[in-house]
Amino acid sequence: MRRNRSSEAVRALVRETRLAPEDLIQPLFVHAGEPEEVASMPGVRRHSVTSLVEECGRCAAAGIRAVAVFPKIDPARKDAVGSHAVADDNVLYAAVRAVKAAFPGLLVITDVALDPYTDHGHDGLLSADGTEVRNDETVAALQALAVKEAGAGADIVAPSDMMDGRIGAVRAALDAAGFERTLILSYAVKYASAFYGPFRDAVGSKAGAAPLDKRGYQMDPANVREAALEVALDEEEGADIVMVKPAGPYLDVIRAVREATTLPVAAYQVSGEYAQIHAAARLGWLDYERTRDESLLAIKRAGADMIFTYFAREVAEGWKRPGSHS
Ligand code: PBG
């Protein structure tokens, strides 16, 4: 075995998995205000529209093909039904228009979910007694949001809410509004995960001190067969790409999904995975760059065609082009 590991040249020859900038999607946050740091995500900012456009320029220059833009909404604009989602002055639409005007070739992905806009932080509309997220009412709101995002110029809309039937409904709404060319990237297999904590800080979707319980719609971390069923339904309903989220703790799920569908598979290395590596590196307990790169390679090896990761730009910038020697 060791002959095939004897030098970097031999190792490069027999290497089975490679990461390239075009595999990576950069999630970015935007708000109506000056740029500010997100405490639990070192190096990540809530951008102004201007600094967001600048950051997109750096991503494009590094070879990144797609960014995912998430809004942080002023708490004063939130309500129980998330009505600001489809308001013309939602900062998300200004952001998408500005990025597409500056970099028409850079793909812009937007989340289709109500959690940035609801005062309770759930991804949908609550029942009168507040104990349940209503499915079909939420799906109708998501249709309107997706059409509005496509109208602002989003190339890919990404339902991340985990309501039933939303992929088919969003596809029909997009087609009816003339957005036949807008892709749907479904957060098909999204777990009720504790690893989303820092993201909820970043977009301010934490309603109170208690963790938000999304187990009534997001998947149980104990399940993997169910992932294949989620993917089959979304495929039938017209998803163009399916996603598994989180990524690192769910490599077996990525593999299972890869084997269950011929669609492209995305994986989302979430905020908590990013924060973990930063925290351990800060304490001097892990080597930052090597851990970061290994975490991404493992996700690709498991079967992901593309990876949403907060490390995207810095990894792409450090990427050695074919022909370079090391
Ligand atoms: C919202 C959404 C979440 C993430 C992406 N879209 C959080 C949640 O469902 O609570 C998580 C991303 C991350 O943790 O990096 N629908």
pLDDT in tens, 62-78: 999 999 999 999 999 99
Closest to 229 in 3D by CA, of 257, 209, 205, 251: 257
Q: What is the mean pLDDT of residues 269-283?
A: 97
What are the two backbone dihedrals, phi and then psi, of residue 322, each rounded to the nearest 5 degrees? -55, 140
Question: Which of 160, 189, 195, 274 for mutating ligand 1's site (highest number of atoms within 8 Å of CB)?
Answer: 160
What are the two backbone dihedrals, phi and then psi, of residue 234, each rounded to the nearest 5 degrees? -65, -35
pLDDT score of 323? 43
Question: What's the token pair of residue 274?
Answer: 């990013």
- The answer on pLDDT for 326 being more than 50 is no
- The answer on pLDDT for 257 being more than 90 is yes
Cα(283) to ligand 1 centroid in Å equals: 26
Q: What is the mean pLDDT of residues 185-197?
A: 96
288/308 Cα distance (integer angstroms)? 18
Q: Share the mean pLDDT of the chain.
A: 95
In this structure, which residue's CA is closest to atom 14 in ligand 1? 196
Asked if 30 and 49 count as a contact pair (C-beta separation under 8 A), the reply is yes
Query: In ligand 1, which atom is closest to the CA atom of 198?
Result: 14
Residue numbers annotated as active site? 190, 245
Query: In ligand 1, which atom is closest to the CA atom of 113?
Result: 16
Report pLDDT digits (tens) over 233-254. Answer: 999 999 999 999 999 999 999 9
**Is omega for the bond preceding 246 within 30 degrees of 0, making it cis?**
yes
Asked if 299 and 258 count as a contact pair (C-beta separation under 8 A), the reply is no
DSSP 46-67: EE-HHHHHHHHHHHHHTT--EE
User: Which element (helix H / strand E) includes 265?
Assistant: strand 265-268
User: Which element (helix H / strand E) includes 183?
Assistant: strand 183-190
pLDDT score of 320? 59
- The answer on pLDDT for 177 being more than 70 is yes
- The answer on pLDDT for 32 being more than 70 is yes
Report pLDDT digits (tens) over 118-152. Answer: 999 999 999 998 889 999 999 999 999 999 999 99
In this structure, which residue's CA is closest to atom 5 in ligand 1? 160
In this structure, which residue's CA is closest to atom 11 in ligand 1? 196
Asked if 306 and 24 count as a contact pair (C-beta separation under 8 A), the reply is yes
pTM (2 decimals)? 0.96
Topology annotation, domain 2-317: TIM Barrel (3.20.20)
- The answer on pLDDT for 325 being more than 50 is no
| b/e 94-116 (16+ beta carbons within 10 angstroms → b) | bbbbbbbeebeebbbbbbbbbbb
Q: What is the mean pLDDT of residues 102-106?
A: 98
What are the two backbone dihedrals, phi and then psi, of residue 63, each rounded to the nearest 5 degrees? 100, 5
Cα(123) to ligand 1 centroid in Å equals: 10
Longest C-alpha distance within the chain, in Å? 67
pLDDT score of 156? 98
Ligand 1 residue neighbourhood (C-beta within 6 Å): 111, 113, 115, 123, 160-161, 196, 199-200, 270-271
pLDDT score of 208? 66
In this structure, which residue's CA is closest to atom 8 in ligand 1? 196
Question: What's the token pair of residue 195?
Answer: 């690893």
